[in-house]
């Protein structure tokens, strides 16, 4: 084993061969500060150490089927391992297909001097250094992106809480709509990626109400036509709030279109049928359901039988019929899941 300097990247090299010239050859040609080196006679003996190695130099002359199996297992357990094979073409029993499966990075033909091997090791070290650098950069970028995402989400959460804090009767509304939407989405069998988008989009579906006057939002009586037209602006306001951040692009269609109606008479774009994004159609039903089953300043929550009849009557008119039917199935067969959500918020 070579002595090594501290505070440097040390590359762990494992050599598996029966001769003794390779370690001496590397010692003469490569700086000892770059690596630590261990030599073994066979793969069985080296197996444990190879799991944490950076480079494996393996003489495959007369390699057995058992050792080949071990080598394949090593590759699976250590996919970053840089493998250099020393090959005697006359004795090699490994096929080209097996070599490809092993993702071997280097081959050195066996002769008396193995003059090219130090060059292969230097190349391996440089390759590992570059991969480590790329990995570090990617981790830093990911960390920065995650921090940016967290900051954006915290900012939007503050806006959302500001909206709901204005009216005690709407507190918890977004959380319930989000969970109802996820419940419907899962019953529809949408992908896990869409479930995540649905959850966040539903949570922020009313964010645009931050731009609506309190006198209109908190009005206890019936809204005038002009006031209702102001309310109808909140999807576009929400879209504008979220548009400046790339991380929110997937949820913007939900925020913008959750008040579109299946028959085309909704707002803001009067979309209809298949033109309305599916996730927006899910939030539309969940939003309406929560509005009907929540207490308001001017009425108590509506009876569940009446709510179900309303959803059924609006299927194909306000609501997508498949989405509406899915919610009705949940209400009829798994109502406890709805109650659990209501009780949480």
Residue closest to 271 by CA, chosen among 282, 287, 259, 283? 259
The per-residue pLDDT for 114 is 64
Rounded to a whole number, what is the distance in angstroms from the first to the last CA of the chain? 63
Residue 85: which H helix or E strand, with range?
Answer: strand 82-87
User: Which distant-in-sequence residues (6+ apart) come within 8 Å of 23 by Cβ?
Assistant: 15, 37, 39
CA distance 127 to 86: 19
The per-residue pLDDT for 274 is 95
Q: Which of 34, 110, 209, 239 is flagged as catalytic? A: 209
DSSP of 186-223, one letter per residue?
Answer: HHHT--HHHHHHHHHHHHTTTGGGGGS-HHHHT--SPP
Residue 90, helix vs strand vs coil:
coil
- Please check whether residue 182 is in contact with residue 195, taking contact to mean a CB–CB distance below 8 angstroms: yes
CA distance 43 to 325: 62
CA distance 220 to 298: 7
| Cα 214 → chain centroid | 38
Conformational region of residue 189, where left means phi above 0, alpha means psi within -120 to 50, and beta covers everything else: left
Residue closest to 287 by CA, chosen among 182, 190, 173, 209? 173
3-state helix, strand, coil in the chain (%, to 5): 60, 10, 30
CA distance 109 to 93: 14
CA distance 244 to 266: 26
Report the top-level CATH class of 166-344: mainly alpha
Cis bond leading into 155, ω under 30°? no
Overall fold of domain 11-136: Rossmann fold (3.40.50)
**Residue 326 class from Cβ within 10 Å (0-12 exposed, 13-18 middle, 19+ buried)?**
buried
Q: Cα dihedral sign for 253, 256, 259, 262?
A: negative
**Residue length, the chain?**
345
Give span(s): CATH 3.40.50.2300, the chain. Answer: 11-136
CA distance 282 to 320: 8
Q: Cα dihedral sign for 170, 174, 179, 181?
A: positive
Pairing of strands 35-40, 106-109: unpaired
User: Token pair of 327, please?
Assistant: 């919610």
Which residues in the chain land under pLDDT 50? 1-8
The per-residue pLDDT for 2 is 39
Residue 56, helix vs strand vs coil:
strand
132 catalytically annotated: no
The helix/strand count (H/E) of the chain reads as 15, 5
The per-residue pLDDT for 137 is 65
CA distance 176 to 186: 15
DSSP of 15-65, one letter per residue?
Answer: EE-SSSHHHHHHHHHS-GGGEEEEEESSHHHHHHHHTT-SEEEEE-TT--H
pTM score above 0.85? no
Give span(s): CATH 1.10.3210.10, the chain. Answer: 166-344
């Amino acid at each position: 084993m070579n002595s090594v300097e501290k505070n440097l990247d040390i590359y762990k090299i494992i050599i598996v061969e029966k001769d003794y010239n390779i370690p001496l050859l590397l010692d003469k040609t490569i700086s000892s500060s770059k690596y630590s080196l261990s030599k073994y006679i066979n793969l069985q003996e080296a197996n444990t150490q190879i799991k944490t190695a950076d480079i494996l130099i393996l003489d495959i002359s007369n390699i057995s089927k058992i050792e080949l199996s071990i080598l394949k297992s090593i590759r699976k357990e250590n996919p970053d391992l840089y493998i250099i094979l020393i090959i005697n073409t006359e004795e090699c029993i490994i096929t080209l297909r097996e070599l490809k499966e092993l993702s071997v990075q280097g081959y050195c033909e066996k002769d008396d001097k193995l003059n090219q091997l130090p060059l292969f090791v230097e190349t391996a070290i440089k390759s590992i250094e570059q991969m480590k650098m790329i990995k570090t950069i990617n981790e830093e970028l990911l960390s920065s992106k995650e921090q940016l995402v967290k900051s954006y989400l915290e900012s939007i959460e503050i806006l959302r809480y500001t909206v709901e804090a204005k009216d005690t009767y709407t507190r918890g509304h977004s959380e319930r709509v989000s969970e109802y939407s996820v419940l419907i989405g899962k019953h529809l069998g949408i992908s896990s990626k869409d479930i995540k988008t649905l959850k966040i989009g539903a949570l922020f579906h009313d964010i645009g109400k931050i731009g609506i006057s309190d006198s209109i939002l908190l009005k206890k009586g019936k809204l005038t036509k002009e006031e209702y037209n102001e309310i109808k602006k909140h999807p576009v306001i929400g879209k504008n709030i979220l548009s400046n951040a790339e991380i929110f692009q997937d949820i913007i269609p939900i925020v913008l279109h959750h008040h579109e109606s299946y028959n085309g008479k909704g707002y803001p774009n009067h979309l209809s049928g298949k033109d309305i994004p599916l996730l927006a159609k899910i939030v539309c039903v969940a939003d309406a359901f929560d509005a009907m089953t929540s207490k308001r300043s001017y009425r108590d929550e509506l009876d569940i039988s009446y709510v179900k009849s309303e959803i059924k009557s609006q299927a194909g008119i306000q609501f997508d019929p498949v989405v509406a039917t899915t919610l009705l199935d949940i209400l009829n067969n798994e109502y406890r899941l709805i109650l659990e959500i209501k009780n949480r918020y």
